[in-house]
Amino acid sequence: MKKFYLTTPIYYVNDKPHIGHAYTTIVADALARYHRLRGEDVMFVTGTDENSQKNIQAMEKAGERDLNGYLERMADAWKESWTDLGITFDDFIRTTEPRHHAGVVRFWDAVKKSGDIYEGEYEGWYCTGCEAFKKDSELVNERCPLHPNKALERLKEKNYFFRLSAYRDQLLALYDQGGDFVMPESRRHEVRNYVAEHLADISISRESRVVPVGIPVPGDPSQRIYVWFDALLNYLTVIGYGTDEDRFKKWWPADLHLVGKEIIKFHCALWPAMLMSAAKTDPLLRDDQGAALLPKRVFAHGFFTLNGQKISKSLGNAIDPRELADKFGVETLRYFVMREMPFGEDGDFSFDRLKNRYETDLGNTLGNLVNRVIAMSKKYFDGKVPPANPESAATPEGKVQWGGAHGLHTLFKSVESAYGSARCDSALEIIWNGVAEGWSGLLQANKYIEETQPFKLVKTDPDAVARILYSLLEACRWYAWLVAPVMPQIAREIFHQLGLDPDAEIKRGWGNALVWGGLKPGSVLGDPRPLFPRLV
């Protein structure tokens, strides 16, 4: 069975999740569901980054003193939020867990043995919002552009450094080898320019007297491992690095890291360089030819903004995704965040557009189609799937650009390609609007009803109506499958209304189910119910 290992970033627990965190995690969940429907063995992980100064500050702000208690409470809150939003993670890593600690120590020792860790002195600016060191060239008005409301700290410390600059040529070769290690292309160019022109060695520890949290440097308790050097290793430790070699060998390397664009330098430059270094001395991290086992792809998405400003906890404009889900429904929120913003680009959040997507895309287009087709079929054919030959029903009726079976196969291939490229937004666009060759999108299916008018034609040609309605019912089954990664509960409800057992249908798998003629003529239909009731 083909494996697919997918990760989100791990999140700071200095507050509850906002819509930006939800966006990354919902997209990851949809991709994990897609690969499971294809019959692949999926490992989808997320987690919390707990070795951070931010978390101490948040604990103190909350009036608490027990750090471990605070971290455990907040980690549970994040897990609960993801569960409420339908996130089907397979593992959840906390960087305070013993399994993570064990893997970090092993990795540090491997990099040290490679000769890429040395002692030095760091002096410069530090942004607590990013948990990152900043060069003067990265500042705007002497502030970090991502956290303009936070003053920078001027640091001068003796630390351990990683020879990041030694990997410049290898990193450039990685970006230029013709693959898609960094996506989208605009981010690859950005990272490449950074590595070519600005790459420098990086401090990978902080003095324990200054930062009392984090994993101690092996052999030197006066230093704590820098939060980013520690955090990136979660992608290894969650699958057994340092604790379970068989499990690790099964899953590594990662097939896809999903990250926000603000952390691409860490994921696309520092992270592969760290792996290249450790692989020199740790055989678990290299392939049979001796090359470092690197993640296959890092996809960096854009920001959700609110009135043009990045949404973040530190800026005080965070939106709680669960409040949106309570009002519009979890499935609506999942659809909106993936349809509204082209993956890889920025997008502005709007309550008006969320409402419009609910009423137009979901209610009037998908919901209306399913409701009308099932209601007419039950009315005209004794509550059953019309007695039409599936092959004859595959032939389009009328002049509307409705492709029937051929069109749906074309649609399916395009949607499959979009999901496979991590482009859920493109998949949804295709499902709703069809494709240039074959059409057969939701909008065309609705137009097909308006042109053929089965509610009138039934009086003069019931056989034609049987073919039309069978074609549309079967199309609804296909649409349910195609939206299932994004809106799994809506897909199950469509199956149920079509008279299918949702569990049995899902077990058939993506390839076996998406064959024309899955609905059996004469089978009993369920009761039509609004998939997206009118908002109160």
Which pLDDT score is estimated for 536?
76
Q: Tokens in use for 341?
A: 């913003």
35, 112, 134, 144: which is the annotated catalytic residue? 144
> Which helix (H) or strand (E) covers residue 371, if one does?
helix 368-380
Q: At what angle do helices 424-433 and 330-340 cross, to 10 degrees?
A: 100
Query: Which of 108, 91, 85, 69 is closest to 10 using CA atoms?
Result: 91
Instruction: Give per-residue pLDDT as tens, 169-205.
Output: 999 999 999 778 999 998 999 999 999 999 999 999 9
pLDDT tens digit sequence for 380-410: 999 999 998 888 777 666 555 577 788 899 9
How do the domains of the chain map onto residue ranges?
A: 353-513
The residue from 35, 54, 130, 476 that is catalytic is: 130
Please pick, among 16, 79, 113, 147, the residue that the annotation labels catalytic: 147
Whether 310 and 146 have beta carbons less than 8 Å apart is answered as yes
| pLDDT for res 315 | 66
pLDDT tens figures, 473-527: 999 999 999 999 999 999 999 999 999 999 999 999 888 899 999 999 999 999 9
Q: Is 476 annotated as catalytic?
A: no
Q: What is the DSSP letter of 86?
A: T
Q: Residue 235 in contact with residue 44, Cβ under 8 Å?
A: no
- 10 Å Cβ neighbour count for 129? 19
Q: What pLDDT, on the 0 to 100 scale, is given for residue 156?
A: 81
Tally the C-alpha atoms within 13 A of residue 195's C-alpha that lie toward its C-beta: 28
Identify whether the C-beta of residue 279 lies closer than 8 Å to the C-beta of residue 252.
no
The whole-number pLDDT of residue 396 equals 62
> Rounded distance, CA 144 to CA 262, Å?
12
Residue 72, token pair as written in the block: 């455990």
342: exposed, middle or buried (C-beta count within 10 Å: 0-12, 13-18, 19+)? middle
Q: How many CB atoms neighbour CB 1 within 10 A?
A: 7
Q: pTM for this one?
A: 0.92
Catalytic residue among 100, 134, 313, 409: 313
* Beta bridge pairs of residue 350: none
Q: Say whether 130 is catalytic.
A: yes
112 part of the active site? no
- 313 among known catalytic residues: yes
The span from the CA of 272 to the CA of 264, in Å, is 11
- Whether residue 313 contacts residue 18, with contact meaning beta carbons closer than 8 Å, is answered with yes
The predicted model gives 446-457 an average pLDDT of 93
Q: Does the pLDDT of residue 260 top 80, yes or no?
A: yes
Query: What is the per-residue pLDDT for 39?
Result: 94
DSSP 283-334: GGGB-TTS-B---S-EEEE--EEETTEE--TTTT----HHHHHHHH-HHHHH
Q: Give the pair of three-digit tokens for residue 450.
A: 């308006």
Three-point CA angle 231, 192, 169, nearest 5°: 90
Tokens of 478: 């296909």
Q: 353-513 has which fold?
A: Isoleucyl-tRNA Synthetase; Domain 1 (1.10.730)
- Give me 217's structure tokens: 């440097």
Kindly calculate the radius of gyration of the chain based on its CA atoms and give it in whole angstroms. Answer: 26
Q: Which residues contact 336 (CB under 8 A, 6 or more apart)?
A: 328, 353, 354, 357, 358
More reliable by pLDDT, 284 or 135: 284
- Max mean pLDDT range (124-133, 233-242, 436-445): 233-242
- Residue 6 predicted with pLDDT over 70: yes
What is the per-residue pLDDT for 74? Answer: 94
Q: For the ranges 130-139, 184-193, 442-451, which has the lowest average pLDDT?
A: 130-139
* Residue ranges of E strands in 88-139: 91-94, 117-127, 132-134
- How much of the chain, in percent, has pLDDT values that exceed 90? 74
Tokens 């040290």 belong to 112
User: 101 catalytic, yes or no?
Assistant: no
Nearest to 525 by CA among 380, 398, 347: 380
Compute the mean pLDDT over every residue in the chain, rounded to the nearest whole number: 92
Q: How far apart are CA 378 and CA 528, in angstroms?
A: 9
> Is a pLDDT exceeding 60 seen at residue 451?
yes
Give me 273's structure tokens: 């360089």
Please write the tens of the pLDDT for every residue from 211-232.
888 999 999 999 999 999 999 9
Q: Which residue in this structure is represented by tokens 């410069």?
A: 124
| Known catalytic residue at 127 | yes
Confidence band of 81 (pLDDT split at 50, 70, 90): very high
Q: Which of 127, 268, 424, 476 is catalytic?
A: 127
Rounded CA gap, 264 and 448, in Å? 46
What is the Cα–Cα distance from 269 to 276, expressed in whole angstroms?
Answer: 11
**Candidates 54, 267, 301, 310; catalytic one:** 310
Question: How far is the C-alpha of 186 from the C-alpha of 181, rounded, in Å?
Answer: 12
In the block, tokens 């290894």 appear at: 236
Identify the CA nearest to 425 among candidates 301, 253, 518: 301
Q: Name the strands in the sheet holding 182-183, side by side, starting at the edge strand that comes first in the sequence.
A: 91-94, 41-49, 3-12, 256-260, 298-301, 182-183
Distance CA(271)–CA(293), nearest Å, equals 12
Q: Phi/psi at 323 (nearest 5 deg)?
A: -65, -40
